[in-house]
């Protein structure tokens, strides 16, 4: 076989199978995608910021979810060093590789800079698409964790403390499957339009959530507060009251301990197998998130309940998460089932004269207030005593209580439907990407 014929045969073998399951009509007869070394699609940029074209306010970072972001806009501050002179310049449309391992992407991530130009630290590698590639295609190609990990894993070595060791140029030594530029642009355009739709629907979701927050502030009396150095007493009625209750008596405010029975749970000894995998749902603060708890991740036995400080709480008990340095502390949930809890949950048991859904809605609206009650020690936690001291305002008419909780519940249904719509779009995008790109193993085989 001639040398030329051998080359054609090798190329045919390399490209064999590099065809996506879904292809736009105008590219149905365009042939198979080519197995290309990434260095044919990207070239390293080494432009330094020595003329201080960009300042600390234009330092970028790379987020696994959001791509290239401005540190100040995204994180509230710049994490730049004393000087950004040696930082690498990143123009709009450049591709950035960060050598910071993430749980889902242990070999780093590759993202396009779709925003304004700026600079990144020397720990980042910066590339620019060649005439054979487009920014959008490269960005979407590596947006799949599976594709990204499959590509980077053979190129990267791990150093001390899980650090990533790879030269910037060597990142381009791997192979990917890619069509011609026109098809790349079509794929990126399709996925970009879907991203734009997801962004619009996500904005609607944010508006709905903000509306609910604002409404809750109107439906419940404001607590005692300090404004401009002046202490303002707690309100006795809300700023908004449904018409049929506007002539009703003022609300009453009592500490939770004077209105409800409260308790906390416990954790059975995990070394005793007879305490676990039983029939009793056991709830931890990981399930407390402004929701109705209708199922558990773990279960304990009757022996575990008796042999520990865990208690069985009835349906309609309201739970408050007492521990957690992150967002968990202060979160509220309503038990939709009979269940036990661990010691990190404060339980507010049902009171015959107060709608449990109202209690849940009221406390959900007071997340920041509840968090502010935390101890000021080394770890800011709530306690059952602090929860019991929380002032609890309520109207005496249960119909008014129910009206408030029903109003907020109906809004929650709209928010849930909107969230489900977004998740369906994201699922559609994920499935579409699987169809638009060949399997990554076909490109590296």
Q: Tens digit of pLDDT for each residue in 188-203?
A: 999 999 999 999 999 9
Mean pLDDT of all residues in 323-337: 90
In sequence order, the β-bridge partners of residue 157 are 165
Which burial class, exposed, middle or buried, applies to 155 when counting CB atoms under 10 A from its CB (0-12, 13-18, 19+)? middle
Across 342-355, average pLDDT? 94
Closest C-alpha among 428, 437, 426 to residue 65: 426
Number of neighbouring beta carbons within 10 Å of residue 41: 22
Per-residue pLDDT reduced to its tens digit, 220-232: 998 888 888 888 8
Of 35-39, 50-54, 74-78, 151-155, least confident by mean pLDDT is 74-78
For the stretch 132-154, pLDDT in tens is: 999 999 999 999 888 999 999 99
346 vs 166, 293, 338, 342, 388, CA distance in Å?
50, 15, 15, 9, 9
| pLDDT, tens digit, 9 for 90 and up, residues 250-276 | 999 999 999 999 999 999 999 999 999
Angular region, 285: left φ>0, alpha ψ -120 to 50, beta rest:
alpha
Residues in the chain, total: 445
Banded pLDDT at 214 (limits 50, 70, 90)? very high
pTM attached to this predicted model? 0.81
Confidence of residue 333 (pLDDT cuts 50, 70, 90): very high
Which helix (H) or strand (E) segment holds residue 175: the answer is strand 175-178
pLDDT for res 223 = 82
């Amino acid at each position: 076989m001639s040398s030329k014929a051998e080359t054609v045969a090798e190329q045919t073998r390399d490209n064999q199978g590099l065809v996506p399951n879904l292809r736009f009509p105008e590219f149905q007869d365009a042939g198979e995608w080519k197995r290309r070394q990434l260095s044919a699609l990207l070239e390293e940029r080494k432009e330094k910021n020595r003329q201080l074209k960009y300042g600390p306010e234009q330092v970028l970072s790379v987020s696994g979810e959001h791509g290239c972001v401005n540190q100040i806009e995204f994180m509230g501050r710049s994490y730049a060093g004393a000087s950004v002179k040696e930082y690498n310049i990143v123009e709009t449309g450049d591709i950035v590789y960060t050598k910071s391992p993430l749980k889902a992407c242990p070999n780093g991530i590759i993202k396009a800079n779709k925003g304004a130009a700026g600079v990144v630290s020397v720990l980042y590698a910066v590339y620019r698409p060649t005439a054979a590639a487009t920014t959008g295609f490269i960005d979407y190609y590596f947006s799949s964790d599976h594709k990204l990990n499959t590509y980077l894993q053979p190129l990267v070595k791990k150093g001390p403390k899980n650090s990533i060791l790879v030269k910037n140029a060597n990142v381009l030594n791997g192979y990917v499957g890619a069509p011609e530029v026109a098809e790349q642009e079509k794929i990126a355009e399709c996925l970009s339009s879907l991203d734009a739709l997801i962004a619009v629907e996500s904005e609607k979701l944010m508006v709905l959530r903000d509306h609910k927050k604002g409404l809750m502030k109107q439906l419940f009396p404001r607590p005692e507060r300090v404004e401009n150095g002046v202490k303002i007493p707690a309100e006795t009625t809300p700023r908004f009251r449904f018409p049929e209750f506007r002539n009703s008596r003022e609300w009453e405010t009592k500490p939770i301990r004077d209105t409800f029975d409260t308790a906390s749970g416990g954790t059975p000894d995990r070394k005793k197998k007879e305490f676990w995998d039983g029939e009793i749902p056991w709830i931890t603060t990981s399930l407390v998130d402004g929701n109705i708890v209708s199922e558990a991740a773990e279960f304990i036995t009757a022996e575990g309940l008796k042999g520990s400080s865990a208690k069985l709480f009835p349906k309609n008990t309201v739970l408050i998460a007492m521990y957690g340095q992150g967002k968990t502390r202060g979160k509220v949930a309503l038990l939709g089932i009979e269940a036990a809890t661990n010691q990190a949950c404060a339980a507010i048991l049902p009171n015959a004269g107060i709608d449990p859904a109202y209690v849940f809605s009221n406390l959900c609206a007071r997340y920041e207030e509840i968090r502010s009650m935390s101890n000021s020690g080394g770890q800011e936690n709530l306690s059952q005593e602090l929860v019991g001291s929380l002032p609890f305002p309520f109207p005496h008419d249960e119909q008014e209580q129910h009206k408030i909780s029903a109003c907020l519940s109906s809004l929650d249904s709209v928010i849930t439907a909107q969230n489900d719509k977004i998740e369906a779009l994201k699922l559609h995008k994920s499935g579409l990407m699987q169809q638009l790109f060949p399997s990554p193993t076909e490109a590296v085989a």
